[in-house]
């Protein structure tokens, strides 16, 4: 009789140890999934920060290129800066999104609002508010932020040069002189 009692306890202990091992594996798997999600959330947050800076530079580049295409050395009469900005800003933001995206992260700018500029000469100061929504997503996480800011563009054209200056609010971000 002692032998039967000991084998029952042995079986019970074996079942208990297997159940504990399965529980430990399930808990570990849960922790691992939470760790992966936390890592992806951190990565999307970092990439969102990168995207905001990259997008700001893309808008600045688009403004400079629009100004030069409208008032460059070979341009006799100013063409519409506003129409050039409307074409170049979305294109440059698209290029920035492509550069920032990877197989595991998708980066995009949406809800773009572009101000309309009206310049009658190539010696003008243009100012407007640009806004968009920057979004970064991965398999398990998503981060996004609305971005809005005032940019000013000063253009001064002479027969020998074109000066283009861009400000973010009051901070100088670009100062370009093209010698004709």
Which of these, 94, 97, 92, lies nearest to 50 by C-alpha position? 97
- b (16+ CB within 10 A) / e for 56-84: bebbbbbbbbbbbebbbeeeeebeebbeb
pLDDT tens column, 44-98: 888 888 888 889 999 999 999 998 888 888 876 667 888 888 899 999 999 999 9
DSSP type of residue 105: B
- Residue 12 reports pLDDT greater than 60: yes
Are 115 and 128 in contact by the 8 Å Cβ rule? The answer is yes
Contact assessment for residue 128 and residue 116, using Cβ atoms and an 8 Å cutoff: yes
Looking at the DSSP bridge assignments, the partners of residue 172 are 167
- Which pTM does this prediction carry? 0.75
CB 54 within 8 A of CB 100: yes
DSSP state of 78: -
**Stretch (H or E) spanning 29:** helix 2-71
Sheet containing strand 106-113, strands side by side? 106-113, 123-137, 142-157, 161-168, 171-179
Among positive and negative, which fits the CA dihedral 147, 165, 94, 46? negative
Q: Which pLDDT value is given to residue 5?
A: 61
pLDDT band at residue 28 using 50, 70 and 90 as cut-offs: low
- pLDDT tens for each residue of 125-148: 888 899 998 988 887 778 888 888
- Rounded to the nearest 5°, which phi and psi values hold at 167? -120, 140
């Amino acid at each position: 009789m002692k032998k039967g009692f000991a084998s029952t306890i042995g079986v019970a202990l074996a079942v208990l140890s297997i159940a504990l091992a399965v529980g430990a594996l399930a808990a570990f798997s849960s922790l691992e999934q939470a760790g992966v999600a936390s890592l992806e959330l951190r990565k999307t947050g970092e990439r969102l920060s990168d995207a905001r800076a990259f997008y700001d530079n893309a808008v600045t580049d688009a403004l400079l290129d629009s100004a030069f295409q409208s008032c460059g050395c070979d341009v006799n009469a100013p063409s519409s800066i506003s129409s050039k900005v409307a074409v170049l800003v979305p294109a440059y933001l698209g290029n920035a999104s492509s550069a920032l995206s990877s197989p595991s992260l998708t980066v995009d700018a949406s809800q773009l609002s572009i101000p309309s500029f009206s310049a009658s000469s190539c010696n003008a100061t243009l100012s407007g508010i640009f806004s968009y929504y920057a979004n970064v997503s991965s398999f398990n996480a998503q981060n996004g932020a609305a971005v809005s800011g005032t940019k000013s563009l000063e253009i001064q054209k002479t027969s020998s040069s074109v000066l283009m200056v861009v400000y973010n609010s009051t901070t100088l971000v670009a100062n370009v002189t093209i010698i004709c």
